[in-house]
Amino acid sequence: MPYGRGMTGWLVAVGILLLCGAAAVAGYRGLVSGALTVDTGRGRRVRPLGPLTVPVAAPRQQVYDLLTQPYLGRITRALQQKVQVLERGSDLVLAAHRTPVGRRLTAVTVETVRFTPPERIDFRLLRGPLPHVVEYFELVDEPGGTTRVEYRGELGTDGWALGAW
């Protein structure tokens, strides 16, 4: 029995819905994983990150060495799956970071990491799920041989309220 006009229209509508759904899933996976970045600059909202402060019972140089180990030293086996140094200079590295964000989904960000020994480590996002992220850790000597680690930064999203969501 041949399909009537109603059935053909229904099949076309279902096909369009399936294509839209597949495109939405692919777009979501691309955004979350960092493979697709929406960087239009339109409707950009920038909000501060931090400040977060953590006291560490160790000298500043020791804390700095520990934080920079994955970038400047030998990377541990545990971090090999999370951090990959792509290019290394004297005070700057280009690194890829892998972060699990859901079931079988991993966000990959590429960042520059700049070092100012022994007081500061700066991160600038080049590729990832967001168009603008700048972060830094500042290490401050405290009395008694402790170090205050301060985290600050800013995060920017495009697309007004929809991008912020």
Considering the chain, what is the average pLDDT of its residues? 88
- Tally the C-alpha atoms within 13 A of residue 10's C-alpha that lie toward its C-beta: 5
Q: Distances in Å between the alpha carbon of 143 and those of 67, 70, 125, 137, 148?
A: 21, 28, 34, 19, 10
Q: Kindly report the number of other CB atoms within 10 A of residue 24's CB atom.
A: 10
Q: Has residue 158 got a pLDDT over 80?
A: yes
Give the pLDDT confidence of 49-68 residue by residue, as tens digits: 999 999 999 999 999 999 99
Q: Which residues pair with 156 in a beta bridge?
A: 46, 132
Does 137 map to a domain?
yes
Q: What is the pLDDT of residue 149?
A: 98
Give Cα 97 distance to the centre of its chain.
Answer: 8
Q: Tell me if 148 is assigned to some domain.
A: yes
Mean pLDDT computed over 30-39: 73
Residue 108 belongs to domain with CATH number: 3.30.530.20
Looking at the predicted structure, is the pLDDT value of residue 130 above 50? yes
The pLDDT tens digits of the residues spanning 93-119 come to 999 999 888 788 888 899 999 999 999
Instruction: Judge whether 144 lies within some domain.
Output: yes
| Residue 44 domain flag | yes
User: Is residue 13 in a domain?
Assistant: no
Q: For residue 113, is it within any domain?
A: yes
- Mean pLDDT score, 9-30: 81
Within-domain flag for 155:
yes
Instruction: Band the pLDDT of 5: cuts 50, 70, 90.
Output: low
Q: Label residues 40-60 b or e (16+ Cβ within 10 Å = b).
A: eeeebeeeeeeeeeeebeeeb
- Would you tell me how many other CB atoms lie within 10 Å of the CB of residue 131? 19
The SS3 call for residue 32 is helix
pLDDT of residue 1: 45
The pTM (predicted TM-score) of the whole model is 0.81
In this prediction, residue 77 has a pLDDT band, given cuts at 50, 70 and 90, of confident
When divided into structural domains, the chain yields a total of: 1
Domain holding 43, by residue range, is 34-164
